[in-house]
């Protein structure tokens, strides 16, 4: 799962070799005071106060949700419901990954919900037995090619014609909802098409065995630990500041505790959903691309200052186009997950509040609407909050109207936190 992570193999940087002395004359106060645990904690707290909130609001949010719904409804915290919650979350989180990239460059994609529906519908139509009866992999590949192409076309209009992404993707929202309607009503008089391919249905309805679940959890923790240790090793070998060992150990133990607890809990029910593993793979790949590659760096740069990026020789339009293609691709993947979960597509696929939930997930997860700030993993955290709230409200049997109002208020709260954090950052001059 984490084999894509970089492995530092620079022979010149052997940690046992003579230490490269840190450059003299630099007053690097942070690094000196951050060298032990209490110093690190103090810096972290300073960061929070200055508006570098990271994942803190979301962790507090999840805590509140667990307390409130756990108190109001006995079934909310059961292993069965936790597994259901994971299943409900995966489609949203997958689409939200693409939206995170779009938000990072300071744009918006309002078409993702219906683009995801196009992906689901195209795949389903191609899978119909004997009509044309494509194998599952070909149908999925073609569906993803379609949604990626949609992203490409929308990005061309945005970059070449200079129309704001808000307007272009709003038009896209209408166009692709129409296309979904046309395709589904033409293919079926009742407007619902069932998926009969077992592999595709299995995407969101199959589970790993208990053992396989433990193996995945082990891989996740081991992979994370390996990457962290390698990083620290290279940095120390180069004479650069690295996180204190205690902090690193605490983070690894923390991740291990959460991961193994989650696997233990879902194993008491049906096991780790396959779709969750697929989401995990995409999370790791896209996190890697965003944080460790030149392309990812340019995405953040374009979001921070398109003009500075242009002057630095970055092809800004190409970055924008690639990001909208990622958005289209991930929407397609999410659409396939959602279709698989329902074992069908229908005229209303991609409608309802899907768009709202996806964008809310990205924003609640901590991706700034102002561009340039956020992480891919925020798609997962935000979707967890959103899906928990939906799930809890369903359990309580709230009316649709009430659910919309509450979801809207949660989104508003997240945006206010973002705006407040940005003000704090600006006040202290830290963005």
Neighbours of 311 (CB within 10 A): 9
What residues pair up with 193 in beta bridges, in sequence order? 345
Instruction: List the alpha helices (DSSP H) in 50-78.
Output: 56-72
Query: Which residue lies nearer to another protein by CB, 403 or 428?
Result: 428
* Segment contacting another protein by CB under 8 A, of 141-149, 150-158, 308-316, 407-415: 308-316
State the DSSP code for 195. Answer: -
Which of 86, 32, 9, 140 is CA-nearest to residue 279? 86
Q: With CB under 8 A as the contact rule, which of the stretches 17-25, 215-223, 258-266, 384-392 interacts with another protein?
A: 17-25
As a whole number of angstroms, the distance between CA 196 and CA 378 comes to: 34
Of 91, 151, 303, 365, the one binding another protein by CB under 8 A? 303
38, 209, 211, 293: which one binds another protein (CB under 8 A) = 293
Q: Which one among 15, 135, 239, 254 touches another protein, defined by CB under 8 A?
A: 239
One of 1, 2, 13, 66 touching another protein (CB under 8 A): 13
Q: How far is the CB of 423 from another protein (least distance, A)?
A: 13
Give the nearer residue to another protein in terms of CB position, either 12 or 397.
Answer: 12
Taking the complex as a whole, the smallest distance from the CB of residue 108 to another protein amounts, in Å, to: 18
Count CB neighbours of 399 within 10 A: 9
CA distance 96 to 21: 44
Which part of the chain contacts another protein (CB under 8 A), choosing from 28-36, 64-72, 319-327, 391-399? 28-36
Report d(CA 286, CA 277) in Å as an integer.
14
Q: Between 49 and 80, name the residue whose CB sits nearer to another protein.
A: 49
344 phi, psi to nearest 5 deg: -170, 165
Please state at what angle helix 79-104 crosses helix 112-127, rounded to 10 degrees.
120
Beta carbons of 325 and 158 less than 8 angstroms apart: no
Segment interacting with another protein (CB under 8 A) among 107-115, 135-143, 191-199, 311-319:
311-319
Tokens encoding 56: 């803190």
Closest to another protein by CB, 30 vs 198, is: 30
Unique residue bearing structure tokens 């390698």? 230
Choice from 1, 2, 31, 66 touching another protein (CB under 8 A):
31
Residue from 23, 161, 190, 399 in contact with another protein (CB under 8 A): 23
Identify which of 387, 418, 178, 196 has the alpha carbon closest to the alpha carbon of residue 279.
387
Count of chain residues binding another protein (CB under 8 A): 48
Q: Tell me the closest approach of the beta carbon of residue 425 to another protein, in angstroms.
A: 7
Which value, in Å, is the radius of gyration of the alpha carbons in the chain? 23
Query: How near is the Cβ of 34 to another protein at its closest, in Å?
Result: 9
111-122 burial code (b ≥16 CB/10 A, e <16): bbbbbbbbbbbb
- Residue 235 or residue 403: which is nearer to another protein going by CB? 235
**189, 174, 202, 188: which is closest to 117 by C-alpha?**
174
8 Å CB contact between 350 and 184? no
Min dist. Cβ of residue 228 to another protein (A): 14
CA atoms within 13 A on the CB side of 386: 33
Q: Interface with another protein by CB under 8 A: which range of 23-31, 75-83, 200-208, 321-329?
A: 23-31
CA proximity to 197, closest of 145, 135, 141, 130: 135
| Residue 304 binds another protein, judged by CB under 8 A | yes
Tell which positions 353-382 bind another protein, by CB under 8 A. Answer: 371-373
Q: Does 431 bind another protein (CB under 8 A)?
A: yes
Please select the residue that binds another protein; options are 18, 129, 294, 399, rule is CB under 8 A.
Answer: 294
What is the footprint of another protein within residues 324-343 (CB under 8 A)?
none
- Separation of alpha carbons 138 and 149, rounded Å: 16
- Examine residue 211 and tell whether it contacts another protein (CB under 8 A): no
Interface pick for another protein out of 55, 300, 342, 348 (rule CB under 8 A): 300
In 120-256, DSSP assigns E strands to 192-194
Give contact residues for another protein (rule: CB under 8 A): 6, 8, 10, 13, 20, 22-31, 234-235, 237-241, 292-294, 297-298, 300-301, 303-305, 307-309, 311-314, 371-373, 425-426, 428-431
């Amino acid at each position: 799962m984490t084999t894509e992570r970089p492995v530092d193999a620079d022979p010149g940087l052997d940690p046992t070799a003579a230490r490269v002395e840190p450059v003299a004359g630099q007053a690097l106060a942070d690094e000196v005071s951050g060298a032990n645990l209490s110093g690190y904690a103090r810096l972290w707290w300073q960061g929070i106060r200055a508006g570098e909130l990271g994942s803190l609001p979301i962790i507090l949010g999840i805590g509140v949700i667990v307390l409130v719904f756990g108190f109001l409804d006995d079934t909310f915290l059961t292993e069965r419901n936790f597994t259901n919650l994971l299943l409900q979350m995966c489609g949203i989180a997958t689409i939200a990954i693409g939206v995170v990239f779009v938000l990072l460059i300071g744009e918006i994609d309002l078409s993702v919900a219906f683009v995801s529906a196009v992906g689901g519908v195209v795949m389903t139509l191609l899978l119909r037995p004997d009509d044309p009866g494509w194998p599952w992999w070909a149908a999925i590949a073609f569906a993803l090619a379609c949604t990626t192409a949609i992203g490409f076309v929308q990005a061309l209009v945005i970059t070449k014609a200079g129309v704001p992404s808000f307007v272009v993707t709003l038009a896209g929202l209408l166009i692709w909802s129409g296309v979904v309607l046309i395709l589904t009503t033409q293919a079926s008089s009742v407007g619902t098409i069932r998926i009969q391919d077992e592999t595709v249905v299995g995407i969101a309805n199959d589970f790993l065995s208990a053992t396989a679940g433990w193996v995945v959890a082990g891989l996740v923790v081991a992979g994370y630990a390996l990457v962290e240790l390698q990083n620290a090793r290279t940095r120390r070998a180069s004479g650069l500041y690295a996180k204190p060992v205690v902090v690193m150990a605490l983070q690894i133990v923390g991740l291990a505790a959460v991961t193994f607890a989650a696997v233990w809990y879902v194993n008491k029910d049906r096991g780790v959903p396959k779709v969750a593993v697929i989401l995990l793979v995409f999370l790791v790949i896209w996190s890697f691309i965003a944080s460790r590659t030149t392309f990812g760096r340019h995405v953040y740069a374009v979001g921070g200052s398109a003009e500075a990026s242009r002057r630095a020789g970055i092809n800004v339009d190409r970055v924008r186009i690639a990001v909208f293609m990622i958005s289209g691709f991930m929407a397609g993947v999410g659409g396939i997950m959602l279709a698989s979960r329902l074992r069908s597509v229908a005229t209303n696929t991609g409608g309802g509040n899907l768009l709202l939930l996806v964008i809310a997930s990205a924003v609640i997860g901590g991706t700034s609407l102002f561009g340039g700030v956020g992480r891919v993993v925020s798609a997962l955290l935000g979707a967890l909050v959103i899906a928990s709230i939906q799930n809890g409200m369903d359990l309580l049997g709230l009316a649709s109207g009430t659910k919309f109002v509450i979801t809207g208020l949660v989104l508003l709260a997240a945006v206010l936190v973002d705006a407040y954090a940005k003000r704090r950052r600006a006040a202290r001059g830290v963005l």
